[in-house]
């Protein structure tokens, strides 16, 4: 039987082709038959990293072909620059200084015709102004990067101003349907009063491995190698990554707050922070300085039948994120590995909260969440006859 005709074509420019971005490209390629059966086609017209942007020569063609995308993943994972792909033909390369203009030209051309989805899988604030300009061109935005939604409130407001055109499920809980659930509850007129949970795959993994007697510095490095941590793991250990998730959720609930309004507990002192040493130095020498004090905290909790968890609490009275001792035999205490758990309380879920639990970090699940977000926009990209 012939596959159904293509109903929606979604042109995509991907910003960031690190662990998550590359996995997204692999998912896009491997899901072609599935999407074709659903009448959906994703056309990757450009991919950027921190130094350049690779764009399809003809924006209205089929985009960068799958063989090129696979080679791009191989090149980037072996440390080659995007320029190594130029010899393949069918694409053009723009340096960092020209990339922003080219993305916006592309957004402007496609925004007026086929539409464009700008997908941010970087971990930088540098994309914010480009995303806002793309929104002005009528483009859609999909984010794994939390930073654009956690800078100035007016930037958040701008990005979500057309809620139909933005998706950011993977910013909280990776592939878990946290944003979708909260959005649906709010849309039904059921006021969300409280969200409590463990929202860091890295810290969840680290804490549960510590219970098995492993050394803090070792498990943090393992979490990094498993793709759970941010590019600089101090973003996780400082609590800032969880605070960003809390801020996104709080803003989604209508709170006009900023990062400074969130109480954040860090697992390391400022002497080991980014102003004092590089990520490499931190991993090689700084991290091990924390082993003893963390081991003592784990032991002290264990003597009381408790375990340590990094807990996030969002209420109308404020947001806080920090380490807590919780009973070993509680929902939070039973968490293992990179799993997240989120409890959502509202009028309908007052005494028994809505609970969402599952893998909360990792390139695979995060990229799957991003892909689902892109496909979710398909109705805005219907082909005209
Ligand atoms: N890993 C996970 O479990 C989860 C991750 N996320 C988020 O996904 C994002 C990506 O994470 P991850 O893939 O692990 O990070 P990586 O560090 O592996 O990749 C980041 C990518 O962004 C690129 N980049 C940096 N600056 C820019 C820029 N100005 N424009 C375009 N690209 C740029 C980097 O370029 P270069 O290759 O040149 O360095 C790199 O390719 C992060 O924001 C993270 O918070 C969200 C949920 C879960
Ligand atoms: N570093 C983050 C990745 C997902 O947001 C985490 O550990 O949860």
Cβ proximity of 181 and 312 under 8 Å? no
Asked if residue 168 has its Cβ within 6 Å of ligand 1, the reply is no
Q: Is residue 44 part of a domain?
A: yes
Collect all residues with Cβ–Cβ distance below 8 Å to 138 and sequence separation of at least 6. 111, 112, 115, 165
pLDDT above 70 for 293: yes
**Same domain membership, residue 185 and residue 125:** no
Asked if residue 363 has its Cβ within 6 Å of ligand 1, the reply is yes
Residue 19 labeled ligand binder: yes
Asked if residue 361 has its Cβ within 6 Å of ligand 2, the reply is yes
**Same domain membership, residue 305 and residue 163:** no
| 299 tagged catalytic | no
Q: Is residue 1 part of a domain?
A: no
> Ligand 1 atom closest to Cα of 369?
47
Please state the ipTM of this predicted complex.
0.99
Q: Work out the angle between the directed axes of helices 201-211 and 291-303 (0-180°, nearest 10).
A: 70
What are the tens digits of pLDDT across the range 124-173?
999 999 999 999 999 999 999 999 999 999 999 999 999 999 999 999 99
Beta bridge partners of 355: 343
What are the tens digits of pLDDT across the range 11-48?
999 999 999 999 999 999 999 999 999 999 999 999 99
Q: Is residue 292 part of a domain?
A: yes
Residue 16 labeled ligand binder: yes
Q: Work out the angle between the directed axes of helices 19-30 and 66-77 (0-180°, nearest 10).
A: 150
Per-residue model confidence (pLDDT) at position 385? 63
* 8-15 and 318-327 strand pairing: unpaired
For ligand 1, the distance from its centroid to the CA atom of residue 240, given in whole angstroms, is: 16
Residue 207's domain spans which residues? 180-360
How far, in Å, CA of 220 to CA of 224, rounded?
Answer: 6
What are the tens digits of pLDDT across the range 359-378?
999 999 999 999 999 999 99
**Same domain membership, residue 153 and residue 187:** no
Which CATH number goes with the domain that contains 263?
A: 3.30.360.10
Asked if residue 360 has its Cβ within 6 Å of ligand 2, the reply is yes
pLDDT above 90 for 384: no
Is pTM beyond 0.90? Reply is yes
Question: Residue of the nearest CA to atom 2 in ligand 2?
Answer: 229
Residue 17 labeled ligand binder: yes
Instruction: Tell me the three state secondary structure of residue 230.
Output: coil
What are the tens digits of pLDDT across the range 67-106?
999 999 999 999 999 999 999 888 999 998 898 899 999 8
Catalytic residue among 76, 102, 147, 245: 245
Which CATH number goes with the domain that contains 111?
A: 3.40.50.720
**Same domain membership, residue 80 and residue 14:** yes
Cβ proximity of 243 and 264 under 8 Å? yes
Q: Is residue 3 part of a domain?
A: no
**Same domain membership, residue 310 and residue 239:** yes
- The structural domain count of the chain equals 2
**Same domain membership, residue 233 and residue 95:** no
The pLDDT of 3-11, averaged and rounded, is 90
């Amino acid at each position: 039987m012939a596959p159904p005709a293509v109903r929606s074509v979604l042109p995509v420019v991907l910003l960031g082709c690190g662990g998550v971005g590359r996995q997204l490209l692999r998912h896009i390629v491997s899901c072609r038959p599935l999407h074709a059966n659903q009448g959906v086609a994703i056309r990757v017209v450009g991919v950027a990293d921190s130094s350049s942007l690779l764009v399809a020569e003809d924006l209205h063609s089929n985009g960068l072909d799958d063989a090129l995308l696979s080679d791009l993943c191989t090149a980037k994972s072996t440390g080659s620059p995007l320029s190594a792909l130029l010899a393949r033909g069918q694409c053009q390369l723009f340096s960092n200084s020209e990339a922003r203009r080219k993305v916006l030209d592309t957004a402007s051309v496609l925004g007026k015709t086929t539409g464009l989805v700008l997908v941010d899988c970087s971990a930088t604030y540098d994309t914010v102004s480009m995303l806002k300009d793309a929104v002005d061109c009528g483009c859609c935005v999909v984010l794994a990067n939390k930073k654009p939604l956690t800078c100035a409130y007016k930037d958040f407001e701008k990005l979500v101003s057309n809620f139909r055109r933005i998706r950011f499920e993977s910013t909280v809980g990776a592939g878990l349907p946290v944003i979708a659930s909260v959005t649906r509850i709010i849309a039904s007129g059921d006021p969300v009063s409280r969200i409590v949970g463990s929202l860091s795959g890295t810290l969840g993994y680290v804490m549960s491995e510590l219970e098995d007697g492993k050394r803090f510095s070792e498990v943090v490095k393992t979490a990094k190698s498993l793709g759970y941590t941010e590019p600089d793991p101090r973003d996780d250990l400082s609590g800032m990554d969880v605070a960003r998730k809390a801020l996104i959720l709080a803003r989604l609930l209508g709170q006009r707050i900023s990062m400074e309004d969130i109480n954040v507990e860090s697992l390391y002192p400022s002497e080991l922070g980014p102003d004092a040493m590089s990520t490499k130095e931190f991993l090689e020498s700084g991290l091990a300085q924390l082993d003893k004090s963390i081991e003592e905290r784990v032991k002290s909790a264990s003597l009381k039948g408790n375990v340590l968890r990094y807990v996030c609490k969002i209420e109308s009275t404020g947001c806080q994120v920090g380490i807590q001792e919780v009973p070993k035999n509680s929902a939070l205490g039973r968490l293992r590995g990179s799993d997240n758990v989120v409890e959502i309380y509202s009028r309908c879920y007052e005494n028994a909260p809505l609970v969402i639990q599952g893998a909360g970090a990792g390139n695979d699940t995060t990229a799957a969440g991003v892909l689902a977000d892109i496909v979710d926009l398909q109705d805005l990209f219907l082909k005209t006859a």
